[in-house]
Copies of this chain bind each other. A is one copy, B any other.
């Protein structure tokens, strides 16, 4: 392994260390907002829908998370039960059902999300130096 590759390995190692730190802090922020890491991720993907609508179908969530329909459905069902999200039928197409955040879900998501601003900055700093 030449000098260039060795530096790349060091950057990749530093990146993994930063990633683990980010995961730890992220879990901590979620739990402080009384969210499991999995529910925080669900709220993030609904709120951060690619098209800016702040809502997502089960299929969209399955595709982005690479999870089975049954897994995502169960995750959404439990989040509905505890009042974090609700289902809403599309006004344009009665066959399409969206998941969206409730006010309570939005409040708790925002609390965790804002607490992580510094961590996102720190991680971005490490990754921009990541060799590839």
Contact = CB atoms under 8 A, between A and B. Distances in A.
Interface in A12-68: 12-17, 19-21, 24, 41, 44-45, 47-50, 52, 54, 64-66
Copies in the complex: 2
Given A17-B64, A45-B16, A132 B110 contact: no
A124 B121 contact: no
A120 interface: yes
A54 B19 CA distance: 21
A1 B53 CA distance: 13
Contacts of A20: 65-66
Given A120-B131, A123-B127, A127-B123, A12 B113 contact: yes
Contacts of A14: 48, 50
